[in-house]
């Protein structure tokens, strides 16, 4: 019912009843005014669509290749994929410097940088200087970085306000857009069409050990689909209906569920979701997994439910639930020898000899020792 219809109905009601409920009328009017204000506030700026049409081809997609890499033949069609803002330039420079020193300077795998705003020339040149691999810069389409039209924006804004400071990014719409994008769209970007595997990297993370083998080649040679370093439990308030929605998907698409799956790892004794998930800010994975009919059907099912905005579903539990349904344990790999730190957790190799020879992290602080880690339970599957 529109605001005008509600006001007309209220006027009719009060006139028929001799103004018997003046307080109710004022309350309804106040609610209508509040809803109108929220709608005005929630309405996405139409200029964004127009701005996308005004971007130059180089702002939408640009590759900067290095002549020294022409002769390189990588064993796997793979790339680092980094979703980043221009303002995170210096945090990312530090991260890539470590990644180059610990591994990529010897292999020169390419980088794909993605942003929902055009990259600045300063950013592009800085990435060229700090990397050994070719650099590709892409703009995220508006449709992939927005609240879809079937989500009630008023409900979503209200849900964000209610979650507020109770959880990290509880009231952030941009964070929800990022989670939705990393859940269902990053692998569809044309810059990734030429690759079979990807390694997700985020600004500010640290690589605390020399990486003595090629993780991409290991994944391909051993028919691995998904690789992780850290697992932990999700915040319950952010995924209140994710498990219910996932079970509805399972009931609708039983043919997609792998016979030897990992659902027992994420299922509590009472049948609920135990909140375990792979921490997806680090993941090395097959892009064919995300492009598969079962994964895209699962994402579309979740997307239509609206939980990315009406709650705060993260890409980490979404990736994890998908892996648990569609993969078996032999297709997933724990990179225990990759030293990785994303505040406040880290994975630090616990083998004493390897750690002393190749790392600068403290193995006693590795997440695997934390009671909220789910990795030991996964290893016991």
Catalytic residues: 283
Token output for 343: 């505040």
- As a residue count, the chain comes to 381
Give all strands (DSSP E) within the chain, no chain letters: 61-64, 78-83, 111-115, 135-139, 197-200, 206-207, 226-228, 231-233, 276-278, 283-286, 332-334, 340-342, 345-347
- Residue 114 backbone dihedrals phi, psi, to 5 degrees: -125, 145
DSSP character for 367? Answer: G
Contacts by residues 193-196 (CB-CB < 8 Å, ≥ 24 positions apart): 194/77, 195/77, 195/78, 195/79, 195/112, 195/287, 196/76, 196/77, 196/78, 196/220, 196/286, 196/287, 196/288
Q: H-helix or E-strand containing 39?
A: helix 22-42
Rounded to whole angstroms, the Cα distance separating 282 from 330 reads 19
Closest CA to 175 of 85, 90, 78: 85
Closest CA to 229 of 374, 107, 334, 360: 334
Closest CA to 100 of 216, 211, 217: 211
Through-space distance between the first and last CA atoms of the chain, rounded to whole angstroms? 52
Torsion of CA 192, 263, 234, 142, to 10 degrees: 30
Rounded to whole angstroms, the Cα distance separating 96 from 132 reads 10
On the 0-12 / 13-18 / 19+ scale of CB atoms within 10 A, 312 is buried
DSSP character for 235? Answer: P
Closest CA to 287 of 349, 357, 198, 173: 198
Closest CA to 131 of 83, 166, 98: 98
């Amino acid at each position: 019912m529109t605001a005008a219809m509600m006001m007309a109905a209220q006027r009719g009601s009060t006139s028929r009843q001799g103004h018997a409920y003046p307080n109710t009328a004022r309350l309804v009017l106040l609610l209508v005014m509040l809803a109108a204000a929220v709608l005005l506030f929630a309405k996405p700026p139409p200029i964004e669509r127009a701005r996308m049409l005004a971007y130059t081809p180089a702002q939408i997609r640009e590759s900067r290749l290095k002549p020294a890499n022409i002769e390189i033949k990588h064993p796997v069609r793979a790339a680092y994929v980094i979703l980043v803002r221009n303002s995170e330039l210096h945090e990312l420079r530090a991260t890539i410097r470590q990644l180059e020193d610990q591994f990529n300077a010897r292999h020169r795998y390419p980088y794909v940088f993605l942003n929902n705003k055009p990259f600045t020339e300063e950013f592009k040149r800085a990435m060229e200087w700090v990397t050994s691999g070719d650099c590709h810069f892409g703009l995220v389409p508006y449709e992939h970085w927005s609240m879809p039209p079937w989500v009630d924006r008023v409900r979503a804004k209200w849900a964000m306000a209610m979650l507020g400071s109770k959880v990290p990014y509880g009231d952030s719409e941009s964070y929800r857009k990022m989670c939705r994008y990393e859940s269902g769209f990053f692998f569809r970007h044309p810059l990734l069409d030429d690759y079979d595997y990807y390694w997700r990297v985020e600004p500010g993370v640290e690589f605390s050990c020399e990486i003595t083998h090629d993780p991409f080649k290991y994944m391909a040679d051993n028919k691995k689909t998904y690789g992780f370093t850290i697992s932990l439990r999700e915040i319950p308030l952010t995924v209140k209906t994710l498990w219910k929605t996932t079970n509805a998907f399972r009931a609708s698409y039983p043919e997609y569920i792998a016979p030897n799956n990992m659902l027992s790892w994420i299922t509590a004794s009472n049948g609920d979701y135990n909140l375990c998930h792979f921490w997806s800010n680090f993941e090395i994975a097959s892009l064919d997994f995300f492009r598969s009919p079962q994964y895209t059907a699962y994402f579309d099912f979740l997307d239509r439910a609206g939980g990315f905005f009406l709650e705060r579903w993260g890409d980490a539990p979404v990736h994890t639930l998908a892996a648990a349904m569609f993969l078996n344990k032999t297709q997933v790999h724990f990179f225990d020898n990759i030293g990785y730190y994303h505040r406040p957790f880290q994975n630090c190799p616990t083998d004493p000899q390897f750690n002393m020879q190749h790392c600068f992290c403290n193995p006693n602080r590795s997440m695997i020792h934390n009671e909220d880690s789910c990795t030991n339970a996964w290893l016991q599957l």
